[in-house]
Amino acid sequence: MKNGSLNILIGGPAGSGIEKSGQVLALSFVRAGYFVFSNMEHSSQIRGGNNFLRLRIDENAHEVHTEETDAIIAFDKQTIDEHIHEVVEGGVIIFDGESVEIGNGVDSRFRGNDNNGVVKMIDVPLKKMASEDFGNPLVANMISLGVLFGLTEFEMSVIRGVLEKIWGKKGAEIITMNLKALDAGKKIADEKWTKGFVVKMPNRVDSRLRGNDTKSGNDSRMFLCGNDALCIGAIKAGCKFVGEYPMTPSSSVLHFMAGWAEKYGIVVKHVEDEIAAVHSVIGAGFAGVRAIAATSGGGFALMSEGIGLAGMNEVPIVVVDVMRPGPATGLPTRTGQGDLQFMIHAGQDDPIKIVLLASSPEECFEMGFEAFNLSEKYQLPVIIGYDKYLGEGYYTVPAFKKESLKIDRGKLLSASELEKISDYKRYLRTDDGVSPRAIPGQKNGIHRATSDEHTEYGEICEDAENRKAMVDKRMKKMEMALKELPGPELIGDADADITFVTWNSSVGACLEAAEILREKKKNINVLKIRTAWPFHKKETKEILKKVKRPILVEQNYNGQMGALIAEQTGIIIQEKILKYDGRPFTAKEIIENLK
Amino acid sequence: MTNLKDLETRDKSNWCPGCGNFGIQTAIKQAIVNLSLDPANVVISTGIGCGSKINQWIETYGFAGLHGRSLPVAMGVKLANHNLTVIDVGGDGDGYGIGMGHFIHNMRRNFDMTYLVENNQVYGLTLGQTSPTSDKGMKGPSTPFGIIEDPINPIRLALSSDCTFVARGFAGDIPHLTGLIEQGISHKGFALIDIFQPCVTFNKINTYAYFRQKVYKLEEAGHDATNLGEAFARAGESEKLPIGIFYKVEKPTYESSDVGLKDGVPRAQVDISEIDVSEVEESFM
Ligand SMILES: Cc1ncc(C[n+]2csc(CCOP(=O)(O)OP(=O)(O)O)c2C)c(N)n1
């Protein structure tokens, strides 16, 4: 435990306001200059069960949670039973003894009898205070947060702005009541507990520069999830059509885009199924509009034939697969990396598509932007794949870098360019495989985009020679695209003794594991794979040939990235740390698995 | 001015001689000419089947997609550029079988588009299996003992799905069909035109002669196309088969109600070179 670093777990049944409480805590600490990483583990039910949210608050940024917890806010017994062993010495558990029953056995259950009393049980009559003092049982959560703010001697003035942001629309009364509830909690902490809790969280933002909003501060940072970051990239890229069917953990893309639809003039259509989603996106892409469909594995399965269609008809589209464990319904609200091979091979025959793998919110943003350029430059579907942990995990990041971003619509023809073409061929064979593209409404560019094999004009054609030439043409585009796709990235000392080979959010856990082990004089680097298809054979092989001891780290049973690397480079990575229980890696877990 | 010659393609159609699709193709072209539509502003979306090949042989923009999926593509095109005239054409297997879900949902959305179903009551391209509209008892390679299910009644389905323009044509009466297509395209909303399309190779029951003997024109029978109840009753007739407009009503189109399109500019024409996302970013601070 140390000042400026606080790990919190809030747990309780679904519907007990865990997410809102987490949001208040997270935004308060972000605005006070901290980096917050937050992830929610929840079950696929709307009420009941046991959900919990972790907040890792630190002076430095983290992209992975840790199970070592300083403070728990427990709204049910299960939270205490299941997580008390994670609380570090000197940590606290805030709970309401009147509604959360804890037997006398708590201390003894905690690491055995010899640890008696190392965790402080802060029993606060939250419900009673909420209804008796505030006449509103809903503020119980705020009282518990107040206790925590009090323990850490957090500067309460920061919080008003946060509440205004979250509840602004509901009016000043609600905000005042919640502030009072926070104060009531803080008072309890101040009176009884503050001295006993060693972690203090002073304001890290220069108060002279800080108003109620961070904009005027010197440190404006966003607190957002991977899906949010992707959406910002897509909006920036000029995406104007979203065709989607809700599926956890991708639905927030649909909700986000719908929320901004009016402001940015985006047509957001919740359609009848994922088949309609991908085809409506294809229709929009064909008509010259940048379009996206996000889904998870099951919906992606329904999109498979459509993704092949976009490849065949050379239509630019962007599809996002936010992965959860499968097959079938699998674990709807949990995380996994099991769709790698599926994303590559969804659709018949050899894949005509680009598959990008994001491993951080920054990459979600960049890929969310660049995918549209790539899809229009090479006139094919671009898939972005990442796991639920990244998609729904919350990160603290500065405003994204946008200076170098440029819209590139590839060989999309202007009216005047089209006018000069006398015999327009939509699928003209060119050196780079990419044909000049006309869109409906343009004169002189009339054509049919055809899912049967076709001539350069787009006419159905079964001729063997034509078939071969058109396959070669489409594959040429893949070859050209590969040159500008993000290649394998070796992070850390090139001379390291061990190399974690990994992708998606597992990168964050690997990087932290490497950092922890560095202190123990172990030299470890991380090979991050950013493009799954087409594959950087040469570059990956060159790196892996030099690596001393590669270890594959990913979240599926077969080690799909390892299989892809073996298939593409001939190099078989023997050592594997694989996880497929639906729960994300921690650095500690990776270290424990390292022999 | 567009004339029929402008709508001719390099390729010639390869349907069986006498196929009902020839009549439908002619009627579509004639309707485009009669309405003076610029072929560059017309998109014909199709699925897969004999009938779906139709856009190969009409010189407008066209998207030949997958079996049963022409409507969602048409929806995407319309929402991307609502200034285009969007016509969707496909077989009864395509629209009433594999694509049924899209059919119903697009009717209730009321996009301004026209959907022509070449209803030959068989699966032509896959060699003559029965289709969702095959007469009960009809035999085919997949139902050698006769189909057990009752056929779908697409007109009644459309009426109960709040389709705003419900009509039926006959490929053997091209002038009448042309008129229906013109009215369907002119209608501001989703227009369904189910078309009796004799398949001369696989359907020996529902032939030209069969339809010539059975069809009558609704407009000549004093049908009131604003009366939903009457439309529903007529749609159930089987002794005589009505063609013409069963029902027509005006309702706001989907594209006129979408917040993303409230400036009225087709999305395909919006400048996307400099989009400022700072407001979105600030919402996360
Ligand atoms: C997903 C899928 N399933 C099956 C097929 C095979 N298939 C092609 S056309 C067709 C049916 C054609 O019947 P219909 O739509 O009535 O058109 P018609 O050929 O009679 O004009 C089928 C089943 C396919 N192309 N795609």
Residues A243 and A391 in one domain: yes
Burial class (CB in 10 A: 0-12, 13-18, 19+), A33: buried
Degrees (nearest 5) of the Cα angle A257, A263, A264?
65
C-alpha A465 to ligand 1 mean position (Å): 26
A292 & A341 share domain? yes
Rounded mean pLDDT, A172-178: 93
For residue A463, CA distances in Å to A357, A425, A459, A469 come to 37, 18, 11, 10
A224-247 pLDDT, tens digit per residue, is 999 999 999 999 999 999 999 999
Residue of B43, B77, B259 with shortest CB distance to A262: B259
B270, B277, B279 member nearest A265 (Cβ): B270
Task: With CB atoms and an 8 Å threshold, state whether A283 touches B74.
Answer: yes
Pocket test for ligand 1, best of B88, B94, B119, B199 (most atoms within 8 A of CB): B94
Q: Taking residues A535-553, what's their average pLDDT?
A: 98
**Chain B residue with the nearest C-alpha to that of A243:** B76
Last residue of a domain, one of A398, A433, A451: A398
Atom 26 in ligand 1: which residue has the minimum CA distance? Answer: B67
pLDDT reported for residue A47: 82
Between chains, do B72 and A313 touch, taking CB under 8 Å as contact?
Answer: no
A483-534 confidence digits (pLDDT tens): 999 999 999 999 999 999 999 999 999 999 999 999 999 999 999 999 999 9
Residue ending a domain, choose from A185, A219, A253: A219
Least CB–CB distance from B63: residue in A238, A271, A449: A449
C-alpha A264/C-alpha A243 separation (Å) is 16
Pocket of ligand 1 (CB under 6 A): B 48-51, 67, 91-94, 118, 120, 122-126, 131
Q: How many Cα atoms are found within 13 Å in the side-chain-facing hemisphere of B105?
A: 19
Phi, psi (rounded to 5 degrees) for B185: -65, -40
* pLDDT confidence of residue A104: 55
How many Å lie between the alpha carbon of B272 and the closest alpha carbon of chain A?
Answer: 5
The model's pLDDT over A384-404, given as tens digits with 9 standing for 90+, comes to 999 999 999 999 999 999 999
Tell me the pLDDT of chain A averaged across its residues.
94
Together in a domain, A450 and A545: no
* pLDDT digit string, tens, across residues A115-168: 445 788 899 999 999 999 999 999 999 999 999 999 999 999 999 999 999 988
> Which pLDDT score, from 0 to 100, does residue A217 have?
44
Query: What's the CATH number where A92 sits?
Result: 3.40.920.10
Specify the DSSP class assigned to residue A437.
B
Range of the domain at A313: 223-398
In the reported structure, the alpha carbon of residue A387 is separated from the centroid of ligand 1 by a whole-number distance in angstroms of 36
Q: What is the domain extent for residue B179? A: 4-283
**Rounded Cα gap, residues B236 and B239, in angstroms:** 10
Same domain, A205 and A298: no
Q: Say yes or no for a CB contact (<8 Å) between A283 and B275.
A: no
- Residue A363 CA to chain centroid, in angstroms? 10
pLDDT confidence band for A447 (50 / 70 / 90):
very high
> Which residues in chain B come in under a pLDDT of 50?
none
Residue A551 belongs to what H/E stretch? strand A550-554
Q: What is the pLDDT of residue A106?
A: 57
Among B126, B131, B142, B196, residue to substitute to test ligand 1 (most atoms within 8 Å of Cβ): B126
Say yes or no for a CB contact (<8 Å) between A284 and B76.
Answer: yes
Q: What is the pLDDT of residue A210?
A: 47
- What pLDDT score does A219 carry? 55
Residues of A in contact with B50 (CB under 8 A): none
Q: Do A362 and A459 share a domain, yes or no?
A: no
Amino acid at the residue B131:
S
Query: Which of B48, B71, B88, B131 best tests ligand 1's pocket when mutated (most atoms within 8 Å of CB)?
Result: B48
Cα(A269) to ligand 1 centroid in Å equals: 27
What's the total number of domains in chain A? 4
Give me the residue from A291, A400, A451 closest to B76, CB to CB: A291
pLDDT of residue A218: 40
Rounded to a whole number of angstroms, the CA Rg of chain B reads 20
Report the range of poorest mean pLDDT among A81-90, A201-210, A301-310, B224-233: A201-210
- Note the pLDDT of residue A170: 86
The rounded Å distance from CA A235 to ligand 1 centre is: 38
Which run of H or of E encompasses A372? helix A361-378
Q: Quick one: A10 and A93 in the same domain?
A: yes
Strands B165-170 and B241-248: antiparallel
Which of B64, B259, B263 shows the shortest C-beta gap to A449?
Answer: B64
State whether B80 and A309 contact (CB < 8 Å).
no
Q: Do residues A197 and A301 both lie within one domain?
A: no
Task: Return the pLDDT at A48.
Answer: 80
Q: How far apart are CA A559 and CA A578, in angstroms?
A: 7
Could you read off the pLDDT of A100-111 as tens digits, one per residue?
887 654 554 444
Instruction: Please name which of B66, B197, B172, B70 lies closest in space to residue B121, comparing C-alpha atoms.
Output: B197
Question: pLDDT tens-digit profile of A397-433?
Answer: 999 999 999 999 999 999 999 999 999 999 999 999 9
Quick: pLDDT tens for A284-338. 999 999 999 999 999 999 999 999 999 999 999 999 999 999 999 999 999 999 9
Closest CA in chain A for residue B264: A265
CATH of the domain at B187: 3.40.50.970
Q: What is the pLDDT of residues A581-594, one digit of tens each?
A: 999 999 999 999 99
DSSP, res B187: S
> Which residue of chain B comes nearest to A317, CA vs CA?
B76
CB B35 within 8 A of CB B77: no
d(CA A426, CA A556): 41
Joined together, the tokens standing for residue B238 give: 């089987």
Query: Is A238 found in the same domain as A186?
Result: no
Residue A244 token pair: 């989607």
**pLDDT of A113 strictly over 50:** no
Considering only CA atoms, which residue is closest to atom 5 of ligand 1? B67
Q: Are residues A228 and A158 in the same domain?
A: no
Compute CA distances B260 → A70, A250, A409, whole Å. 46, 21, 22
> Distance between CA B244 and CA B181 in Å, rounded?
10
Q: Take residue A280 and report the two structure tokens written for it.
A: 């409506």
Which one of A460, A482, A504 terminates a domain? A482
DSSP string computed for A76-109: SHHHHHHHGGGEEEEEEEEE-TTTS---TTHHHH
* Residue A303 confidence (pLDDT): 98
User: What does the pLDDT look like over A458-471, one tens digit per residue?
Assistant: 999 999 999 999 99
pLDDT at residue A115 in the model: 40
Type of residue at A232: I
